[in-house]
Structure 1
Amino acid sequence: MLVDRVRSGRPVAHVAAELGVSRPTAHKWVRRWRAEGEAGLADRSSRPLMTPHRTPATVEEQVCELRRSRKLGPARIGPVLGLPASTVHRILTRHGLHRLARLDRPTGTVIQRHERDRPGEPIHIDAKKPGRIPDGGGHKALGRHAGRPIRGMGFDYVHSAVDDHTRLAYSEIHPDEKVTTCAGFLTRAAAFFHTHGITRIERVLTDNAWSYRKCLTWKQTLNELGATGKLTRPYRPQTNGKAEHFNRTLLDEWAYPRPYTSNTERTEALTDFLHTYNHHHCHTALGGKPPNTRVNNPQVNTPRPCSERPTGRAFQDQKVHPCATSH
């Protein structure tokens, strides 16, 4: 946009003021375009060519060795090697050793995030209950005082299924979480995963809700799919962490990113959110790639990282591709 306006004959200073950038920045982009064409407008790394004051590689190796062998923290490694604790922490972070929880205690090797080797083993299922929105909007649209909750509005039950290996997600909104609702959702979720190449569900991991724990209809549905049911440890939602993390993303990027004027409007927005999450969401556990890339190409292990996460307003209002800066 900046180059197009300059090419039309506009002064660079005027164009810079219109776009909210400094004149030196505007001149820099124009010089790049004149020297290299369209390729010169691509983002470049801001990493310096030389870092003369960086800690020598041999010292960094000593820091890493003390971390692996003795499990020492920055405050204890620093005095041993004569380094500030902050420097030691940056070295450990650079090498992925800053969290002891990610190290295997006997060997000191970095343990990757827990993840199953193949799709469908297992599928994580959970339900979230955001409050329904009255017609005209709730407190986010009208303000805390004007948008007081209306008695009897109740909740929407958002049932979600997340594949452990690919992070592919499927959600539906229902008025309850009764056993027939849960069983029907599982059947449709299995059909969704099947269309995306996950042809077999081996296990289904859920919390200890009554519908999953005691009801025969749920167990019969599992048998029809050829899957086994697995329950989390009581009072340990971390066991079902992938579904819980998806619920957090669901609230941040679908349920609460902007003020909806009705419950129907929010419900209709769920389809767009799921498409964005599965096809464009830069998932950190997948190296910055969206879940559908792992379904289509399971061998992708080092994809190009994404520089921006999608925001609710970007996906809802502007329909901006959340990974636009890296594609």
Structure 2
Amino acid sequence: MEDRVCRLRQDRKLGPARIGPILGLPVSTVHRVLARHGLNRLAFLDRPTGQVIRRYERNRPGELVHVDVKKLGRIPDGGGWRVHGRAACPDRRRTTGFDYIHSAVDDHSRLAYSEVHSDEKATTCAAFLQRAAAFFATYGILRIERVLTDNAWPYRKSLAWRQALADLGAAGKLTRIYRPQTNGKVERFNRTLLDEWAYLRPYTSNDERTAALTDFLHNYNHHRCHTALGGHPPINRVNNASGQYN
């Protein structure tokens, strides 16, 4: 019976309220079965295959760094519809261009570094990686062993990216195609970035939002509690928490 509950969850993505009547089980019983098998949240499953996503964590800072780019619409001077309301901005779907938020997250500590750029070209990605490595070094992460990215062209084909990896003595690694969960730590960071920085409050200009990124990163790294770290901020897991030496 438990196997049948699990198959319905994995194959058809049904919840307890629908599985229960199919199998003649109380909803509460179905929920307990799903929780026992780690299937109680759809976020735990790889959507195409229904397989449980394997959670992992590297043993030391610098062993693996996740890198990704998030695209955001730029804010017009004076603010957009979040400031003036939807009725006052009938053309709100039009944009003044895009910002590209480049982010790097250390797998073990979750220490994060981000920059706002106007593109995601190979040279921009490579230069960002160099500065991210310098940032991590100030906190005692002196060597980056691997860098995990998606399959975007700058990470797969560009000589600039390969040279940046070589300069750091790091190996490049790509996620499985159509499996963003492989790079889940930086994907989850991107969600936090949107909720607690980009959409935290109505900004009256793009420059105002960009300037607020520094405070967000400091709070995220030094003060924000992280459930995966036992309620501690990322700074507690790096070699040089005070940032006083290189």
Residue aligning to 1:284 = 227
Contact 1:126–1:206 (Cα < 8 Å) also in 2: yes
Residue aligning to 1:135 = 77
**What code does the residue aligned with 1:160 have?**
S
**By how many angstroms is 1:149 displaced?**
3.5
Contact 2:73–2:95 (Cα < 8 Å) also in 1: no
Determine the C-alpha separation between the residues in 1 that align with 2:239 and 2:169: 23
Residue aligning to 2:28 = 86
Q: Structure 1 vs Structure 2: percent identity of aligned residues?
A: 71
Per-residue Cα deviation, 1:86-122 (whole angstroms, up to 9, x for no partner): 26846985xxx351498xxxxxxxx983111111121
Determine the C-alpha separation between the residues in 2 that align with 1:221 and 1:121: 17
Contact 2:64–2:107 (Cα < 8 Å) also in 1: yes
**By how many angstroms is 1:175 displaced?**
0.6
Correspondences of 1:85-234 after superposition (within 5 Å): 86=28, 89=31, 97=36, 99-100=38-39, 113-147=55-89, 148-149=91-92, 151=94, 153-234=96-177
SS where residue 247 of structure 1 aligns?
A: helix
Residue aligning to 1:238 = 181
Larger C-alpha radius of gyration, 1 or 2?
A: 1
**By how many angstroms is 1:270 displaced?**
0.3
Per-residue Cα deviation, 1:112-166 (whole angstroms, up to 9, x for no partner): 8311111112100000011000011111111113233385611001000001111
**What code does the residue aligned with 2:198 have?**
A
The number of aligned residues is 215
Unaligned residue ranges in structure 1 (runs of 5+): 1-65, 103-110, 299-327
Determine the C-alpha separation between the residues in 1 that align with 2:146 and 2:79: 40
Residue aligning to 1:294 = 237
For the pair 1:257 / 2:200, whether they are aligned, the reply is yes
SS where residue 173 of structure 2 aligns?
A: strand
Higher relative contact order (CA 8 A, sep 6+): 2
SS where residue 202 of structure 2 aligns?
A: coil
Unaligned residue ranges in structure 2 (runs of 5+): 7-15, 45-52, 242-246
**TM (normalized to structure 1)?**
0.59
SS where residue 197 of structure 1 aligns?
A: coil
Residue aligning to 1:270 = 213
**TM (normalized to structure 2)?**
0.78
Q: Quote the RMSD (CA, aligned, Å).
A: 3.0
Runs of 4+ in 1 over 4 A off after TM superposition: 70-75, 87-93
Q: Decide which structure has greater strand share.
A: 2
